[in-house]
Amino acid sequence: MTTPCAISTFRRDGYCVLPGALAAGQVGHWRSLLDRHITAQPPAPDRTGPYFLWPELANETDLRDLYEDSRIADAIRPFLRAGLGLPTPEVAQLAFTIPPHPHHPGAPHIDGLTPTEDDGRPGTFTVLVGLLLTDQSQRDRGNLWVWPGSHLSTGDWLRVHGADALRNAIPYPPVELPTPRQVTGPAGSLVLVHYLLAHNIGGHFGTTHDERRETVYFRLRADGHRERWRTAVTDPLVEFAQPGPMGGSTTGCGR
Ligand SMILES: O=C(O)CCC(=O)C(=O)O
């Protein structure tokens, strides 16, 4: 599943989609888990648009077990520099988009700045991993928006201005941005997104009768990331693997 092409695409664009990462049965288990959480903490009856829940894995054994059983870390490890460990994340983000929500984001953000961590450190991490639980093959079904390559231009900007300039770069550092894309993929896809990549919440142009969007996100920090965060944001590929001899070029690697 993890081809040199996927690694090259991730390095170039700052994100990639791995279709078929979860079997249909696993997607079903994840959706039941999300259903239990949204039933316990429901949105207001007339609410539409994004709705997020943030359960902690330490308090939710079934969530932690499902994370382990889905072998997410195994799918991500080939993208990381050899030998970097990948601890279990602390928190999950259960992301729903309830239609209709006819909206396109104007500008992106970067995670972890409002609020920062308790000690004031920007809440940087290595990679955002999304599990698409509903079909997002078409656009405007709640898909995540990304600005491809912005992880590299932001890394350049932070090298010039210093890593600590990130603290005030809200909502996103002042770099030139490309045309955004919506991330598309069928249910069961895994989406990898570099921490520095400009991104935002998408719209859902369906009607009240259409299926809500469901994605689970994990913010993964490779071992030692908190101590290394200044290096990680000024040298954006430092925590990531080289694609190897056959995948060094992105020629032929699609989006
Ligand atoms: O709703 C989404 O897919 C994106 C959420 C997002 O941008 C975020 O939580 O930082």
What are 160-212's pLDDT values in tens digits? 999 999 999 999 999 999 999 999 999 999 999 999 999 999 999 999 999 99
Return the pLDDT at 2. 65
Return the pLDDT at 244. 74
Return the pLDDT at 5. 80
Return the pLDDT at 124. 98
Atom 4 of ligand 1, nearest CA residue: 201
Is 90 exceeded by the pLDDT of residue 64? Answer: yes
Ligand 1, pocket-test mutation among 97, 109, 217, 218, most atoms within 8 A of CB: 217
Ligand 1, pocket-test mutation among 34, 144, 194, 204, most atoms within 8 A of CB: 144
Going from the Cα of 128 to the center of ligand 1, the distance in angstroms, rounded, reads: 10
User: What is the rounded average pLDDT for all residues in the chain?
Assistant: 94
Going from the Cα of 94 to the center of ligand 1, the distance in angstroms, rounded, reads: 10
Q: What is the mean pLDDT of residues 212-227?
A: 98
Among the listed residues 206, 201, 240, 235, the one whose alpha carbon sits nearest the alpha carbon of residue 220 = 240
**In the 3-class helix/strand/coil scheme, how is the chain assigned residue by residue?**
CCCHHHHHHHHHHCEEEECCCCCHHHHHHHHHHHHHHHHHCCCCCCCCEEEEECCEHHHCHHHHHHHHHCCHHHHHHHHECCCCCCCCCCEEEEEEEECCECCCCCCCECCCCCCCCCCCCCCCCCEEEEEECCCECCCCECCCEECCCHHHHHHHHHHHHCHHHHHHCCCCCCCCCCCCEECCECCCCEEEEECCCCEECCCECCCCCCCCEEEEEEEECCCCHHHHHHHHHHCCCCCECCCCCCCCCCCCCCC
What are 50-60's pLDDT values in tens digits? 999 999 999 99
Is 70 exceeded by the pLDDT of residue 1? Answer: no
Return the pLDDT at 243. 83
CATH class of the domain whose range is 4-41+50-234:
mainly beta
Atom of ligand 1 nearest to the CA of 93: 9
What are 108-157's pLDDT values in tens digits? 999 999 989 998 889 999 999 999 999 999 999 999 999 999 999 999 99
Among the listed residues 213, 237, 185, 234, the one whose alpha carbon sits nearest the alpha carbon of residue 10 = 237
Going from the Cα of 201 to the center of ligand 1, the distance in angstroms, rounded, reads: 5
